[in-house]
């Protein structure tokens, strides 16, 4: 596995639909900024709700080159300018270009919560990845099996099918190869406290590495300050996708500190 990927873990904080006010979002963001100022060997991506993005700037008050902004979703249609003529009129949606113009570099696509509550399909996810790449965003593609599928021993089959349906319609271009990030997030591990043990995630990672030699692959699902390092050091993931723990500033900093020693 390329050394560089292990040396500089990618830590993605998915704030989901939190916090409740802009003031809290700014406070959280500024604390992270202060904390990671002296942390050189990792890239931290904060993914706030859309409504806060334009108010959070990694560069104000001094450069923090290893702190980036990400979005939690983006729409698949790039027609985000010109009068609404039917095409390009998508009430409530945000295009990848709009995000790029706000200084966003990454976008989470296909999170299992969106698949579940918003009925996102592999076909929609595929189109979103394609449009995000065109807008020069780095898509973080979430993959993962449900508890039922895991219990039936279908994990690899499910992941292979998700990858096939999502990536085969996208040309295997340099753009895709150099920007795509994968996140293995077992659905049953997300927000449950029931994390997937690092030795089990390692098997999944080795399976994914057969197809993706250099693509960064993250683990996500109930990561906490006790188990975080094991996914990088023992299993060999390139980074982490953190949900709940990224809102608990003390726990989040513990993860950053522990990884900084890796
Ligand atoms: P969790 O969420 O860390 O709260 O389990 C992870 C995610 O939703 O990406």
User: Which atom of ligand 1 is least distant from the CA of 244?
Assistant: 4
Q: How far is CA 156 from CA 143, 205, 211, 221, 236, in A?
A: 11, 10, 12, 17, 18
Question: Is 43 annotated in the active site?
Answer: no
Ligand 1 pocket, residue 39 CB under 6 Å: no
Q: Exposed, middle or buried by CB within 10 Å (0-12, 13-18, 19+), for 18? A: middle
Question: Is 165 annotated in the active site?
Answer: no
- Give alpha helix (H) positions in 64-197: 96-101, 112-117, 122-134, 147-151, 155-167, 174-179
Catalytic residue among 113, 145, 185, 251: 185
Contact 129, 120 (CB under 8 A): no
Take residue 238 and report the two structure tokens written for it.
């390139």
- 164 C-alpha to ligand 1 centroid (Å): 24
Of the residues 10, 11, 14, which should be mutated to test ligand 1's pocket, given the most ligand atoms within 8 Å of the CB?
Answer: 14
Whose Cα sits closest to atom 8 in ligand 1?
243
Whose Cα sits closest to atom 2 in ligand 1?
243
Alpha-carbon torsion, ordered 261, 183, 244, 113, to 10 deg: 180
Ligand 1 pocket, residue 186 CB under 6 Å: no
- 190 C-alpha to ligand 1 centroid (Å): 5
How far apart (Å, rounded) are the C-alpha atoms in residues 32 and 13?
A: 11
Q: What is the pTM of this model?
A: 0.94
Take residue 245 and report the two structure tokens written for it.
């723990």
Ligand 1 pocket, residue 185 CB under 6 Å: yes
Q: In the Cβ-directed half-sphere of 201, how many Cα atoms lie within 13 Å?
A: 32
Ordered per-residue pLDDT tens for the chain, 262 residues? 444 444 689 999 999 999 999 999 999 999 999 999 888 899 999 999 999 999 999 987 777 889 999 999 999 998 755 555 546 689 999 999 999 999 999 999 999 999 999 999 999 999 999 999 999 999 999 999 999 999 999 999 999 999 999 999 999 889 999 999 999 999 999 999 999 999 999 999 999 999 999 999 999 999 999 999 999 999 999 999 999 999 999 999 999 999 987 6
């Amino acid at each position: 596995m390329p050394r560089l990927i292990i040396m500089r873990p990618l830590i993605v904080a998915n704030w989901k639909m939190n916090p409740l006010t802009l003031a809290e979002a700014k406070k959280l963001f500024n604390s992270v900024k202060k904390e990671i100022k002296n942390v050189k060997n990792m890239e931290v991506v904060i993914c706030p709700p859309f409504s806060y993005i334009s108010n959070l700037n990694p560069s104000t008050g001094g450069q923090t080159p290893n702190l980036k902004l990400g979005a939690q979703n983006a729409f698949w249609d790039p027609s985000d300018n010109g009068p609404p003529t039917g095409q390009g009129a998508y009430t409530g949606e945000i295009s990848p270009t709009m995000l790029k113009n706000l200084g966003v570099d990454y976008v989470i696509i296909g999170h299992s919560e969106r698949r579940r509550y918003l009925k996102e399909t592999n076909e929609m996810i595929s189109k979103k990845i394609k449009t995000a790449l065109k807008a020069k965003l780095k898509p973080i593609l979430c993959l993962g099996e449900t508890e039922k599928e895991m219990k039936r021993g279908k994990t690899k089959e499910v992941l292979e099918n998700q990858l096939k349906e999502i990536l085969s319609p996208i040309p295997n271009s340099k753009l895709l190869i150099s920007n795509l990030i994968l996140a293995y997030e077992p659905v049953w591990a997300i927000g449950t406290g029931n994390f997937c043990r690092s030795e089990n995630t390692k098997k999944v990672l080795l399976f994914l590495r057969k197809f993706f030699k250099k693509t960064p692959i993250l683990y996500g699902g109930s990561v906490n300050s006790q188990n975080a390092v094991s996914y990088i050091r023992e299993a060999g993931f390139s980074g982490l996708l953190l949900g709940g723990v990224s809102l608990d500033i003390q726990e989040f900093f513990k993860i950053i500190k522990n990884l900084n020693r890796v």
